Amino acid sequence: MPPAVVHVHWAFPPTTGGVESHLADLGRLQSASGRRVVILTGEPDPVRHPAYEVVSSPLMTLKRARVNAATPEADAPALAVLIADLVARTGADVIHGHNLHHFSPAPAIAVEALRHQLGISAHHTFHETWPDILTDRPLYRGWEGTYAISGYIQQQCAELIGFRPDLLHPGIDTERFRPVRAPFSGTGPAVLLHPARLLPWKGVHISVEALRRLRDRGHDVRLVLTDTQRIADWDGALPAYRRQVLGQIEALGLTAAVQFVSARYDEMPALYDIADVALYPTIQGEPYGLVPPEAMSAGRPVVASRCGGIVETVVDGETGFLVEPGDADHLANRIEVLLEDPPLARRMGEAGRARIERHFSASGYVSALERRYAVHGTATPADC
């Protein structure tokens, strides 16, 4: 039987988000590398794939975490039993948690218990830092492997929780996200794509403002937005922000120039293919941002904010442009450079593709992760 890993995370596609997309790609690619993969999630109706197994449990839902807010450790014993059963059934030698410092401590407590009871290797990835509900009980510090998805998150962990995980950038599946059509090779209006969850910090309103400026300057351009209504929205921010963006589009007279697309996880490569420029003008520290490297892998020039982990993937002036967060004028000006110089846009797209292949490929990430699984070994079982 091949070695197995049990990944543990709150959500999974069709819920939209960077962690969810990363896990779906990781499950498929780890399976292709010879490892059996099981993903434990609270997603009630997860997207399934023949390469890996997805196990859905109500013990891992955000609703459950809210219900148990007064007794946050209540589900830890039941989760330990569930995960132990998965380990026994698959022969897993690794449990890998993702953002288990969020929402409820119960999954991390369960993993810690099994780490000692079974002698199994435990690993954890910080996909972001807020909120760390394990600050007073930082179980992950003793685990066999802990990882930050960007140097920015690594530094945030050091500053906010006094702990510095290893840096391990998530990789992009360069076969899935590959150039099909060159930017600015079609007919009709140029297409700007801002694929992001509809949350205020993702800066969708900045892209809308930039579109108005570009059209006022005479550019024939339209904007495609992803209508992501199924997300892990702990604070319930999506509905109000979506209304705000719709109102802004109407007020600016852009209804005919903006398209909302409800793209599923498996439809994202095709969405990049219709775009000429990918936008990601987040207005606060982006933990990593899968959109810029996905777009680069697809051969698209990227115009994104100079903040957070974005500066680790996008090279200003080479694979696209970096702009100041919240500055719609700066964003519009940089997009305009690409609109007026399609050969430059294509060169940037090619440079982005080459950069992802060299430094951010999924195959490289999986290999690095497997080396860490092997090097760190397992925990010591508790005495009977």
Per-residue pLDDT at 234:
65
Percent of the chain residues topping a pLDDT of 90: 82
Mean pLDDT, rounded, for 61-85: 93
Per-residue pLDDT at 4:
97
Per-residue pLDDT at 176:
95
The first and second tokens of residue 305, run together, are: 């904010």
The domains of the chain, with CATH numbers, are 4-171+361-376 (3.40.50.2000), 190-359 (3.40.50.2000)
Mean pLDDT, rounded, for 4-16: 94
Mean pLDDT, rounded, for 240-260: 96
Per-residue pLDDT at 379:
53
Per-residue pLDDT at 196:
87
Mean pLDDT, rounded, for 217-225: 98
Mean pLDDT, rounded, for 123-128: 97
The first and second tokens of residue 226, run together, are: 């992803």
Q: Alpha-carbon distance 331 to 29, whole Å?
A: 35
Q: Alpha-carbon distance 365 to 369, whole Å?
A: 6
Per-residue pLDDT at 208:
98
Q: Alpha-carbon distance 86 to 66, whole Å?
A: 25
Q: Is residue 198 pLDDT above 90, yes or no?
A: no
Nearest alpha carbon to residue 199 among 224, 222, 223, 232 = 232
Query: For residue 48, what pLDDT band results from cuts at 50, 70 and 90?
Result: very high
According to DSSP, the residues that pair with 124 across neighbouring strands are: 97, 146
Mean pLDDT, rounded, for 255-282: 94
Q: Is residue 328 pLDDT above 50, yes or no?
A: yes
Q: What is the pLDDT of residues 142-166, one digit of tens each?
A: 999 999 999 999 999 999 989 999 9
Q: Alpha-carbon distance 287 to 127, whole Å?
A: 7
Mean pLDDT, rounded, for 326-349: 98
What is the pLDDT of the chain when averaged over all its residues?
A: 93
User: Among the listed ranges 17-21, 91-95, 355-359, which one has the minimum average pLDDT value?
Assistant: 17-21
Mean pLDDT, rounded, for 270-276: 96
CA dihedral sign, ordered 5, 9, 15, 16: negative
Per-residue pLDDT at 237:
76
Q: Is residue 380 pLDDT above 70, yes or no?
A: no
The first and second tokens of residue 49, run together, are: 């794939």
Q: What is the pLDDT of residues 92-118, one digit of tens each?
A: 999 999 999 999 999 999 999 999 999
pTM score, whole prediction:
0.93
Query: For residue 384, what pLDDT band results from cuts at 50, 70 and 90?
Result: very low
Q: Alpha-carbon distance 309 to 156, whole Å?
A: 11
Q: Is residue 345 pLDDT above 50, yes or no?
A: yes
Query: For residue 229, what pLDDT band results from cuts at 50, 70 and 90?
Result: low
Q: Is residue 236 pLDDT above 50, yes or no?
A: yes
Q: Is residue 327 pLDDT above 50, yes or no?
A: yes
Nearest alpha carbon to residue 269 among 357, 160, 180, 167 = 180
Per-residue pLDDT at 381:
47
Q: Is residue 201 pLDDT above 90, yes or no?
A: no
Amino acid at 144: E
Mean pLDDT, rounded, for 210-226: 97
Q: Alpha-carbon distance 141 to 227, whole Å?
A: 38
